[in-house]
């Protein structure tokens, strides 16, 4: 490294090859042009945009129309990556291919790489880090998770001397906008989704967001770093928000919760006493007193819990051109600065090699909403199924049921059920909402399957978890 330091300590320019000039790429190009002097002062060398790889040379450029010299545009991304005057490659194409091949080409050529590609890093980080370490160059991807919010660097560096126990948060703005609107307006999912699409918060095909896959990729990245264990998107248990009904949101409100699509990764101890990693994405009830409950609209937040640092929360805009460009520019400055100093810091830490815990072995409290026939004895017989599986019931809310002797299934008086019974009893159907104590996912799934076969049960309408609340 000594010779490299000598060579680069006199370097007055760092060449940047930008792959992609979309929403984020355009903002990165703008930052490079408009903030050139300040960036040069921070890096110790001038950052020079050598070229920009695009799909079409004649496409509208928006914010970059008068900032980027058309002569810098090229449709040959591989040629741009290979150029001798490009020192850092910024990949903002997205997706797996051709991004993966271009990044590997850059790393093998000894060029540092900055990327915002969550899907790629969630699936192929091992090979990319291997190539970066072999070439002794940097590989940064802060913008791959939560846009402008600094999460990756704190996990990798600031908390490197601590023991992280939990990383949880809201990391998808589309789903948070939808659930926040359902909570505040009482509208159903389909209506709010259409509104989100009209406002530009949701894509025409929102599957990656509402299905939880976008959040799962980000969860895999954060879990890998936090727990020094390679976690891929395939290791993450994923449930989306498409089945969340207005009735779920309203019931959650009555019980003092709001519903959020959560990214959850944590250390868990199995029945054998050995530690494992649980990584999961699903909609869950969050107590309104918890910090994440107040994260609304398209904003993101990540809560990290560590043994010594305690609870830390990172909050801000999780998407958008300018916010994401802020993270990309931060990585670019760090990579360029390291080139000037003749060092590289990027590496993958997977020494722990913890196994992944299946969702069936992870304990949680549950919210179960059940549609039943409104006849005497239904509540007691349904509660008996939970007891049979050792799933303990904490609270029951009855709507439209004849009274089962004036007490709920947990042994307490249920005044709310009594008042709602009179109002709903003539409807020809009834609803039971059960809140359980902590139960393993496998036991709860078996319970739900048996309840679905109960002769008085019309439908198990919803099964959601409760997070951030002790029994």
- Beta carbons within 8 Å of 411's beta carbon, 6+ residues apart: none
Q: How far apart are CA 287 and CA 255, in angstroms?
A: 9
Q: How far apart are CA 42 and CA 237, in angstroms?
A: 41
Specify whether 218 is catalytic. yes
Q: Are 403 and 375 spatial neighbours (Cβ–Cβ below 8 Å)?
A: no
Count of other CB atoms within 10 angstroms of residue 458: 14
Could you list the residues known to form a binding site for NADPH, using ranges: 118
Could you list the residues known to form a binding site for NADP(+), using ranges: 19-26
Q: Are 402 and 376 spatial neighbours (Cβ–Cβ below 8 Å)?
A: yes
Q: Write down the H helix ranges in 16-76.
A: 23-34, 36-43
Radius of gyration of the chain (CA): 26
Q: And the tokens for 179?
A: 């659930």
Could you list the residues known to form a binding site for L-homoserine, using ranges: 203
DSSP code at position 407: B
Q: How far apart are CA 16 and CA 20, in angstroms?
A: 12
Could you list the residues known to form a binding site, using ranges: 19-26, 118, 203
Inter-CA distances, 391 with 27, 52, 369, 383, Å? 52, 58, 15, 9
Q: Residue 435, SS3?
A: strand
Q: Exactly one of 100, 111, 218, 260 is catalytic; which is it?
A: 218
Active site (catalytic) residues: 218
């Amino acid at each position: 490294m000594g010779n490299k330091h000598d060579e680069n300590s006199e370097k007055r320019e760092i060449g940047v090859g930008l792959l992609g000039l979309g929403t984020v790429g355009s903002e990165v190009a703008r930052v490079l042009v408009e903030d050139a002097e300040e960036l040069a002062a921070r890096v110790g060398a001038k950052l020079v945009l050598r070229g920009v790889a695009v799909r079409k040379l004649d496409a509208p450029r928006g914010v970059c129309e008068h900032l980027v010299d058309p002569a810098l545009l090229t449709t040959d991304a591989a040629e741009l990556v290979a150029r001798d005057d490009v020192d850092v490659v910024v990949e903002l194409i997205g997706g797996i291919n051709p991004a993966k091949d271009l990044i590997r080409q850059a790393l093998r050529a000894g060029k540092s790489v900055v990327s915002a590609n969550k899907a790629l890093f969630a699936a192929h980080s091992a090979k990319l880090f291997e190539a970066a370490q072999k070439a002794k160059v940097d590989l940064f991807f802060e913008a791959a998770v939560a846009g402008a919010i600094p999460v990756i660097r704190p996990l990798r560096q600031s908390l490197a001397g601590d023991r992280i126990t939990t990383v949880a948060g809201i990391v998808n703005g589309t789903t948070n906008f939808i659930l926040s609107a359902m909570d505040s307006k009482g509208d159903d999912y389909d209506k709010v989704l259409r509104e989100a699409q009209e406002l530009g918060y949701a894509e025409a095909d929102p599957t990656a967001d509402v299905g939880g896959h976008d959040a799962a990729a980000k969860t895999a990245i954060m879990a890998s770093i936090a727990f020094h264990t390679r976690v891929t998107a395939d290791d993450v248990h994923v449930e989306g928000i498409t089945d969340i009904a207005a009735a779920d949101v309203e019931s959650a409100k009555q019980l003092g919760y709001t519903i959020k699509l959560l990214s959850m990764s944590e250390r868990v101890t199995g029945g054998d006493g050995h530690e494992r990693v649980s990584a999961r994405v699903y909609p869950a009830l969050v107590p309104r007193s918890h910090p994440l409950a107040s994260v609304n609209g398209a904003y993101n937040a990540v809560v990290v819990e560590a043994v010594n640092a305690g609870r830390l929360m990172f909050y801000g805009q999780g998407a958008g051109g300018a916010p994401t460009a802020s993270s990309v520019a931060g990585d670019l400055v760090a990579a360029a600065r390291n080139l000037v100093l003749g060092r590289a810091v990027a590496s993958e830490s997977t020494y722990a090699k913890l196994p992944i815990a299946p969702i069936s072995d992870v304990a949680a409290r549950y919210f179960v909403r059940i549609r039943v026939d409104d006849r005497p004895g239904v509540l007691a017989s349904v509660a008996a199924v939970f007891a049979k599986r050792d799933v303990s019931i904490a609270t029951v809310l009855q709507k439209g049921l004849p009274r089962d002797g004036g007490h709920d299934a947990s042994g307490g008086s249920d005044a709310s059920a009594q008042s709602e019974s009179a109002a709903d009893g003539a409807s020809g159907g009834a609803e039971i909402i059960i809140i359980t104590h902590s139960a393993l996912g496998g036991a709860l799934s078996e319970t739900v399957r048996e309840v679905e076969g109960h002769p008085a049960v019309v439908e198990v309408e919803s099964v959601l978890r409760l997070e951030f609340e002790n029994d």
